[in-house]
């Protein structure tokens, strides 16, 4: 049977121009339905990739997971050209996914005299309709910094940035808050049948345009940001609770009563509060995906440098009600999934393929004889490998 890609819950976001080792950005997107001519009753879906494969901007590519583009060819084949759309870096250089939409975020090179959030853009690409939209709004923390983590929950995209500043030292109970902030982007679907599940309560005030003569009601950013009890640049892993009640993040750096160290926190989508669960980390790097059959998260295990080491791991879901919970149990897979030598490895992410324990490993490696430091933004120097598997 064909591999089916379902809606992705979240993606680890990386700024390709700022991180020399990041040759590919968020590699997740919802599949776009289309008919399989050989089987009328089965929808054919695709994998969408946002790749930093050109110096002019990131390309959104669509890959048919039923086909093997290499087949019996001795030489590597190219991705279909041109991509579905290419987004210039002057408009967006951080990317995330919300349902069937690819979200780009970036500050404009030519800023106005106001130097406010209207000087940033939020670009959205609908993989179902191919509609490309630009929202002339981006929270100041994202405009002045980077998105470090983005988590989709229902029709909300929660984004952690490293650019928001604190007007004064802020203490929330026993949690000293750090530089950076949490923002929320809300989507209102036109199609009532495709509206995703929503959090039970809306805890955010929403920014309204005052100096713009139109307001795209389908997309709204939160007004202001919520403080963080953790360092946004220290986030190593994140995962969504299976019921959507909260998402968890693990960091190697946080500040609690003068203490600096690793730890795991959860943010409740029901009451809008952070909770610290202990001085332990989730065993994977990047995003963990919930496996219904195993009742555990599945992710790529990380080495001591917080890089994927090629092995899968599973992790039990901790109890959210415990503020100081013990580290959850986890298991490490015995088989290495990476096919090349570590020195050629650039980036990798694992994508949930619609349930039943099916996943896809998207791996970026350099071509033989290519320096990894010089391959960013040059698709001719990199190889994309897609491996489907079942856990």
Number of domains in the chain: 1
The answer to whether residue 4 sits within a structural domain is: no
Strand duo 94-98 + 39-44: pairing: unpaired
- The H or E element that residue 141 is part of is helix 140-144
Rounded distance between C-alpha atoms, residue 58 and residue 68, angstroms: 24
- Phi, psi (degrees; rounded to nearest 5) at 48: -105, 130
Q: Is the pLDDT of residue 95 over 60?
A: yes
The answer to whether residue 290 sits within a structural domain is: yes
Per the CB < 8 A criterion, the answer to whether 102 and 84 are in contact is no
The answer to whether residue 258 sits within a structural domain is: yes
Q: Summarize pLDDT for 194-212 with one digit per residue, the tens.
A: 555 445 456 667 776 554 4
Q: What is the mean pLDDT of the chain?
A: 77
Strand duo 175-176 + 226-228: pairing: unpaired
Rounded distance between C-alpha atoms, residue 232 and residue 349, angstroms: 20
pLDDT of residue 13: 37
| SS3 assignment, position 42 | strand
pLDDT of residue 98: 92
Q: Which of 142-146, 162-166, 260-264, 297-301 has the highest mean predicted lDDT (pLDDT)?
A: 297-301
- Per the structure, the complete domain to which residue 276 belongs is given by 10-390
Rounded distance between C-alpha atoms, residue 222 and residue 141, angstroms: 12
Rounded distance between C-alpha atoms, residue 160 and residue 148, angstroms: 6
Rounded distance between C-alpha atoms, residue 35 and residue 351, angstroms: 22
Read off the pLDDT of each residue in 364-388 and give the average, rounded to a whole number: 80
User: Where is pLDDT greater, at 247 or 207?
Assistant: 247
Read off the pLDDT of each residue in 67-85 and give the average, rounded to a whole number: 74
The answer to whether residue 363 sits within a structural domain is: yes
The answer to whether residue 2 sits within a structural domain is: no
The answer to whether residue 1 sits within a structural domain is: no
Q: Give the residue among 316, 301, 296 at the shortest CA–CA distance from 357.
A: 296
pLDDT band at 12 (very low <50, low <70, confident <90, very high): very low
pLDDT of residue 160: 95
Task: For the beta carbon of residue 172, count every other beta carbon within 10 angstroms.
Answer: 13
Per the CB < 8 A criterion, the answer to whether 144 and 188 are in contact is no
Rounded distance between C-alpha atoms, residue 139 and residue 161, angstroms: 10
| SS3 assignment, position 58 | strand
Q: Which residue has the tokens 């030489």?
A: 75
Read off the pLDDT of each residue in 138-142 and give the average, rounded to a whole number: 90
Q: Is 354 exposed, middle or buried (0-12, 13-18, 19+ CB in 10 A)?
A: middle
The answer to whether residue 336 sits within a structural domain is: yes
The answer to whether residue 226 sits within a structural domain is: yes
| SS3 assignment, position 76 | coil
| 159, two tokens | 């984004």
Q: Is the peptide bond before 82 cis (omega within 30 degrees of 0)?
A: yes
Q: Is the pLDDT of residue 249 over 80?
A: yes
Q: Give the residue among 206, 186, 184 at the shortest CA–CA distance from 195.
A: 186
Residue 177 maps to which CATH number? 2.120.10
DSSP string, 366-382: EPTT--GGG-TT-GGGE
């Amino acid at each position: 049977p064909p591999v089916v890609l379902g809606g992705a819950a979240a993606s680890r976001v990386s700024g390709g121009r700022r991180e020399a080792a990041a040759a590919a950005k968020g590699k997740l997107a919802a599949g776009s339905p289309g008919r399989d001519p050989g089987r009328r009753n089965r929808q054919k879906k695709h994998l969408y990739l946002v790749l930093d494969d050109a110096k002019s901007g990131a390309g959104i590519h669509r890959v048919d997971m039923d086909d093997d583009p290499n087949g019996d060819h001795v030489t590597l084949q190219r991705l279909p050209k041109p991509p579905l759309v290419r987004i210039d870096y002057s408009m967006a250089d951080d990317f995330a996914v919300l349902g069937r939409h690819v979200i780009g975020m970036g500050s404009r090179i030519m800023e106005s005299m106001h130097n406010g959030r209207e000087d940033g853009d939020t670009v959205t690409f609908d993989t179902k309709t191919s509609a490309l939209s630009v929202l002339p709004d981006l929270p100041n923390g994202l405009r002045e910094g980077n998105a470090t983590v983005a988590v989709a929950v229902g029709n909300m995209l929660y984004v952690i940035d490293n650019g928001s500043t604190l007007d004064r030292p802020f203490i929330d109970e026993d949690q000293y808050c750090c530089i950076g902030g949490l923002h929320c982007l809300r989507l209102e679907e036109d199609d009532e049948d495709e509206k995703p599940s929503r959090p039970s309560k809306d805890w955010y005030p929403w920014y309204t345009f005052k100096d713009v003569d139109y307001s795209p009601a389908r997309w709204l950013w939160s007004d202001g940001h919520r403080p963080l009890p953790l360092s946004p640049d220290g986030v190593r892993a994140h995962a969504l609770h299976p019921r959507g009640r909260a998402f968890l993040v693990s960091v190697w750096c946080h500040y609690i009563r003068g203490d600096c160290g690793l730890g795991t926190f959860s943010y409740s989508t029901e009451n809008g509060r952070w909770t610290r669960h202990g001085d332990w980390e989730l065993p994977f790097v990047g995003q963990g995906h919930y496996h219904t059959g195993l009742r555990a998260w599945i992710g790529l295990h990380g080495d001591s440098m917080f890089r994927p080491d090629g092995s899968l791991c599973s992790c039990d879901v901790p109890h959210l009600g415990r503020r100081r919970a013990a580290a959850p149990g986890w298991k490490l897979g015995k088989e290495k999934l990476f096919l090349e030598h570590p020195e050629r490895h650039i980036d990798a992410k694992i994508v949930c393929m619609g349930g039943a324990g099916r996943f896809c490993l998207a791996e970026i490696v350099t071509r033989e004889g290519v320096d990894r430091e010089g391959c960013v933004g040059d698709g001719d120097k990199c190889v994309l490998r897609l491996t489907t598997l079942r856990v």
